[in-house]
Protein backbone atom coordinates (compact mmCIF):
# COMPACT_ATOMS: atom_id res chain seq x y z
CA UNK A 1 0.00 0.00 0.00
CA UNK A 2 1.66 3.16 -1.20
CA UNK A 3 1.30 6.80 -0.24
CA UNK A 4 -0.62 8.68 -2.91
CA UNK A 5 0.23 12.06 -4.36
CA UNK A 6 -1.91 15.01 -3.42
CA UNK A 7 -1.99 18.23 -1.45
CA UNK A 8 -0.44 21.68 -1.58
CA UNK A 9 3.00 20.44 -2.52
CA UNK A 10 1.70 18.84 -5.74
CA UNK A 11 3.97 15.94 -6.54
CA UNK A 12 4.86 15.23 -2.90
CA UNK A 13 3.21 12.07 -1.50
CA UNK A 14 0.79 13.12 1.24
CA UNK A 15 -1.69 10.36 2.02
CA UNK A 16 -0.73 7.04 3.54
CA UNK A 17 -3.19 4.53 2.15
CA UNK A 18 -3.97 2.23 5.08
CA UNK A 19 -6.80 -0.29 5.06
CA UNK A 20 -8.55 0.91 8.23
CA UNK A 21 -7.20 4.39 8.96
CA UNK A 22 -9.02 6.98 6.88
CA UNK A 23 -7.12 10.22 7.37
CA UNK A 24 -3.35 9.91 7.74
CA UNK A 25 -0.77 11.95 5.89
CA UNK A 26 2.85 13.05 6.05
CA UNK A 27 3.57 16.63 7.07
CA UNK A 28 6.71 16.53 4.95
CA UNK A 29 7.27 18.31 1.67
CA UNK A 30 5.67 21.64 2.56
CA UNK A 31 7.61 24.80 1.61
CA UNK A 32 9.22 26.87 4.33
CA UNK A 33 9.78 30.62 4.22
CA UNK A 34 13.41 31.37 3.41
CA UNK A 35 13.90 28.09 1.58
CA UNK A 36 13.68 24.38 2.13
CA UNK A 37 10.74 22.12 2.90
CA UNK A 38 9.44 20.18 5.85
CA UNK A 39 11.16 16.81 6.13
CA UNK A 40 9.34 13.72 4.96
CA UNK A 41 8.91 10.68 7.15
CA UNK A 42 9.34 12.55 10.45
CA UNK A 43 5.82 13.36 11.61
CA UNK A 44 2.40 12.23 10.44
CA UNK A 45 -1.08 13.51 11.35
CA UNK A 46 -3.97 11.07 11.57
CA UNK A 47 -7.51 10.24 12.52
CA UNK A 48 -8.16 7.53 15.10
CA UNK A 49 -5.88 4.52 14.74
CA UNK A 50 -7.98 2.12 16.79
CA UNK A 51 -9.03 -0.07 13.83
CA UNK A 52 -5.65 -0.29 12.12
CA UNK A 53 -5.17 -3.80 10.75
CA UNK A 54 -2.15 -6.01 11.30
CA UNK A 55 -0.94 -5.02 7.82
CA UNK A 56 -1.48 -1.35 8.65
CA UNK A 57 0.58 -1.68 11.82
CA UNK A 58 3.30 -3.58 9.99
CA UNK A 59 3.48 -0.83 7.37
CA UNK A 60 3.65 1.92 9.99
CA UNK A 61 6.39 0.22 12.00
CA UNK A 62 8.29 -1.00 8.97
CA UNK A 63 8.24 1.33 6.00
CA UNK A 64 7.36 4.45 7.99
CA UNK A 65 9.48 3.56 11.05
CA UNK A 66 6.85 4.62 13.56
CA UNK A 67 8.18 4.81 17.11
CA UNK A 68 5.85 7.20 18.92
CA UNK A 69 2.09 7.75 18.93
CA UNK A 70 0.78 10.98 20.44
CA UNK A 71 -2.88 10.52 21.37
CA UNK A 72 -4.61 13.90 21.60
CA UNK A 73 -7.91 12.44 22.79
CA UNK A 74 -9.15 13.00 26.32
CA UNK A 75 -8.09 10.30 28.81
CA UNK A 76 -11.60 8.88 29.22
CA UNK A 77 -12.19 8.97 25.47
CA UNK A 78 -8.88 7.21 24.84
CA UNK A 79 -9.61 4.57 27.50
CA UNK A 80 -13.10 3.97 26.17
CA UNK A 81 -12.09 3.68 22.52
CA UNK A 82 -8.68 2.13 23.03
CA UNK A 83 -5.73 1.77 20.67
CA UNK A 84 -6.53 -1.43 18.83
CA UNK A 85 -3.54 -3.47 17.68
CA UNK A 86 -1.19 -0.56 18.39
CA UNK A 87 -1.75 -1.20 22.10
CA UNK A 88 0.57 -4.20 21.82
CA UNK A 89 2.91 -2.82 19.17
CA UNK A 90 6.51 -1.82 19.81
CA UNK A 91 5.74 1.89 19.95
CA UNK A 92 5.67 4.49 22.66
CA UNK A 93 2.13 5.79 23.28
CA UNK A 94 1.68 9.16 25.01
CA UNK A 95 -1.68 10.68 25.91
CA UNK A 96 -1.50 14.46 25.52
CA UNK A 97 -5.13 15.62 25.72
CA UNK A 98 -6.07 18.70 23.73
CA UNK A 99 -9.17 20.36 25.13
CA UNK A 100 -10.60 23.66 26.22
CA UNK A 101 -9.82 25.07 29.67
CA UNK A 102 -13.04 23.53 30.97
CA UNK A 103 -13.08 20.33 29.02
CA UNK A 104 -16.48 19.02 28.02
CA UNK A 105 -17.52 15.60 26.81
CA UNK A 106 -18.54 17.44 23.62
CA UNK A 107 -14.93 18.38 22.97
CA UNK A 108 -14.48 14.99 21.31
CA UNK A 109 -17.43 15.75 19.02
CA UNK A 110 -17.78 19.55 19.16
CA UNK A 111 -20.92 21.09 17.71
CA UNK A 112 -20.50 24.42 15.95
CA UNK A 113 -22.83 26.56 13.92
CA UNK A 114 -22.24 27.47 10.30
CA UNK A 115 -20.30 30.57 11.27
CA UNK A 116 -16.61 30.18 10.53
CA UNK A 117 -15.81 32.33 13.55
CA UNK A 118 -17.29 29.72 15.87
CA UNK A 119 -14.99 27.01 14.53
CA UNK A 120 -12.03 29.37 14.83
CA UNK A 121 -13.10 30.21 18.37
CA UNK A 122 -13.26 26.53 19.23
CA UNK A 123 -9.68 26.08 17.99
CA UNK A 124 -8.52 29.07 20.00
CA UNK A 125 -10.21 27.51 23.03
CA UNK A 126 -8.28 24.30 22.44
CA UNK A 127 -5.09 26.34 22.23
CA UNK A 128 -5.83 28.14 25.51
CA UNK A 129 -6.64 24.93 27.34
CA UNK A 130 -3.81 22.75 26.13
CA UNK A 131 -0.51 24.54 26.62
CA UNK A 132 1.19 21.72 28.52
CA UNK A 133 0.10 19.04 26.06
CA UNK A 134 1.04 21.03 22.97
CA UNK A 135 4.47 21.99 24.30
CA UNK A 136 5.09 18.37 25.28
CA UNK A 137 4.11 17.30 21.76
CA UNK A 138 6.57 19.78 20.25
CA UNK A 139 9.33 18.36 22.45
CA UNK A 140 8.58 14.83 21.29
CA UNK A 141 8.65 15.88 17.64
CA UNK A 142 11.99 17.64 18.21
CA UNK A 143 13.53 14.42 19.61
CA UNK A 144 14.93 12.31 16.77
CA UNK A 145 15.07 9.26 19.05
CA UNK A 146 11.27 9.20 18.94
CA UNK A 147 10.86 9.38 15.15
CA UNK A 148 8.78 8.75 13.32
CA UNK A 149 5.90 10.32 15.24
CA UNK A 150 2.20 10.15 14.48
CA UNK A 151 -0.29 12.33 16.35
CA UNK A 152 -4.02 11.82 16.17
CA UNK A 153 -7.41 12.52 17.67
CA UNK A 154 -10.71 11.13 16.31
CA UNK A 155 -11.49 12.86 13.01
CA UNK A 156 -7.91 14.03 12.59
CA UNK A 157 -8.98 17.59 11.87
CA UNK A 158 -9.57 19.74 14.95
CA UNK A 159 -7.32 18.75 17.85
CA UNK A 160 -4.89 17.29 15.35
CA UNK A 161 -5.25 20.40 13.19
CA UNK A 162 -4.32 22.72 16.04
CA UNK A 163 -1.11 20.80 16.76
CA UNK A 164 -0.24 20.56 13.06
CA UNK A 165 -0.75 24.30 12.64
CA UNK A 166 1.47 25.07 15.64
CA UNK A 167 4.30 22.85 14.46
CA UNK A 168 4.19 24.10 10.88
CA UNK A 169 3.86 27.77 11.80
CA UNK A 170 6.69 27.48 14.32
CA UNK A 171 9.12 26.30 11.64
CA UNK A 172 8.07 28.83 9.01
CA UNK A 173 5.52 27.12 6.77
CA UNK A 174 3.34 29.85 5.19
CA UNK A 175 -0.27 30.16 6.33
CA UNK A 176 -1.63 29.28 2.89
CA UNK A 177 0.19 25.94 2.96
CA UNK A 178 -0.97 25.18 6.51
CA UNK A 179 -4.56 25.97 5.54
CA UNK A 180 -4.30 23.83 2.41
CA UNK A 181 -3.01 20.89 4.44
CA UNK A 182 -5.86 21.35 6.94
CA UNK A 183 -8.38 21.34 4.08
CA UNK A 184 -7.25 17.93 2.79
CA UNK A 185 -9.41 16.20 5.39
CA UNK A 186 -12.46 17.17 3.33
CA UNK A 187 -11.41 14.55 0.78
CA UNK A 188 -11.94 11.79 3.33
CA UNK A 189 -14.77 13.18 5.48
CA UNK A 190 -17.46 10.75 4.31
CA UNK A 191 -15.27 7.76 5.16
CA UNK A 192 -14.21 9.29 8.46
CA UNK A 193 -17.77 9.93 9.62
CA UNK A 194 -19.00 6.49 8.59
CA UNK A 195 -16.29 4.87 10.71
CA UNK A 196 -16.61 7.12 13.76
CA UNK A 197 -20.40 6.91 13.95
CA UNK A 198 -20.06 3.24 14.97
CA UNK A 199 -18.06 4.05 18.10
CA UNK A 200 -19.67 4.95 21.46
CA UNK A 201 -17.74 8.21 21.87
CA UNK A 202 -18.87 9.60 18.52
CA UNK A 203 -22.51 8.56 18.20
CA UNK A 204 -23.56 12.23 18.21
CA UNK A 205 -21.24 13.16 15.37
CA UNK A 206 -22.99 15.68 13.08
CA UNK A 207 -23.89 14.91 9.50
CA UNK A 208 -21.25 15.38 6.83
CA UNK A 209 -23.00 18.58 5.72
CA UNK A 210 -22.70 20.15 9.19
CA UNK A 211 -20.13 22.92 9.65
CA UNK A 212 -18.19 20.88 12.22
CA UNK A 213 -17.34 18.29 9.59
CA UNK A 214 -16.02 20.92 7.16
CA UNK A 215 -12.36 21.86 6.91
CA UNK A 216 -12.52 25.23 5.20
CA UNK A 217 -9.13 26.89 4.64
CA UNK A 218 -10.51 30.23 5.83
CA UNK A 219 -11.09 28.76 9.31
CA UNK A 220 -7.42 27.88 9.62
CA UNK A 221 -6.39 31.25 8.18
CA UNK A 222 -8.43 32.99 10.89
CA UNK A 223 -6.94 30.79 13.58
CA UNK A 224 -3.42 31.62 12.40
CA UNK A 225 -4.27 35.32 12.11
CA UNK A 226 -5.36 35.28 15.76
CA UNK A 227 -2.32 33.28 16.82
CA UNK A 228 -0.04 35.91 15.28
CA UNK A 229 -2.06 38.93 16.40
CA UNK A 230 -2.38 37.76 20.01
CA UNK A 231 0.87 35.84 20.54
CA UNK A 232 3.29 36.72 17.74
CA UNK A 233 2.98 33.29 16.12
CA UNK A 234 3.50 29.70 17.17
CA UNK A 235 7.16 30.09 18.08
CA UNK A 236 6.42 32.84 20.60
CA UNK A 237 3.38 30.94 21.90
CA UNK A 238 5.46 27.82 22.56
CA UNK A 239 8.29 29.77 24.21
CA UNK A 240 5.84 31.63 26.43
CA UNK A 241 4.65 28.23 27.68
CA UNK A 242 8.04 26.76 28.45
CA UNK A 243 9.69 25.66 25.22
CA UNK A 244 13.27 26.94 25.31
CA UNK A 245 15.00 28.73 22.46
CA UNK A 246 17.28 25.71 22.06
CA UNK A 247 14.28 23.38 21.83
CA UNK A 248 12.62 25.61 19.24
CA UNK A 249 15.83 25.68 17.21
CA UNK A 250 15.99 21.91 17.45
CA UNK A 251 12.38 21.63 16.27
CA UNK A 252 13.24 23.68 13.20
CA UNK A 253 16.38 21.64 12.53
CA UNK A 254 14.44 18.40 12.79
CA UNK A 255 11.44 19.45 10.71
CA UNK A 256 13.08 21.53 7.98
CA UNK A 257 15.19 20.11 5.17
CA UNK A 258 17.33 22.92 3.68
CA UNK A 259 16.97 23.74 0.02
CA UNK A 260 19.31 21.80 -2.23
CA UNK A 261 22.33 23.77 -3.47
Question: CA distances (Å), 187 to each of 20, 162, 214, 215, 223, in order?
Answer: 16, 19, 10, 10, 21
pTM of the model: 0.91
Other beta carbons within 10 angstroms of residue 131's beta carbon come to: 15
Q: What stretches of 55-185 adopt beta strand conformation (E)? A: 68-71, 92-95, 149-152
Q: How far is Cα 178 from Cα 21, in angstroms, rounded to an integer?
A: 22
Other beta carbons within 10 angstroms of residue 11's beta carbon come to: 8
Residue-by-residue pLDDT tens, the chain, 261 positions: 333 334 444 455 689 999 999 999 999 999 999 999 999 999 999 999 999 999 999 999 999 999 999 999 999 999 999 999 999 999 999 999 999 876 544 445 544 433 444 789 999 999 999 999 999 999 999 999 999 999 999 999 999 999 999 999 999 999 999 999 999 999 999 999 999 999 988 888 888 777 778 899 999 999 999 999 999 999 999 999 999 999 999 999 999 999 876
Instruction: Give the number of C-alpha atoms closer than 13 A to the C-alpha of residue 200, restricted to the C-beta side.
Output: 7
Q: How far is Cα 86 from Cα 93, in angstroms, rounded to an integer?
A: 9
Question: Structural domains in the chain?
Answer: 3-242 (3.90.190.10)
Amino acid sequence: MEATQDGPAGEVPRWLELAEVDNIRDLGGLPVRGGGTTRRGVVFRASTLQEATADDVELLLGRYRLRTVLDLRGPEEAAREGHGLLADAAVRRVNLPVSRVRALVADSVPVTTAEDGDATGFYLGLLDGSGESLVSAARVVADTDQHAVVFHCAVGKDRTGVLAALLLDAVGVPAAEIAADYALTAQRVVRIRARLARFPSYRDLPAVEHAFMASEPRVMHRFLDSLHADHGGAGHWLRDRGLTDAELDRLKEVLVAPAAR
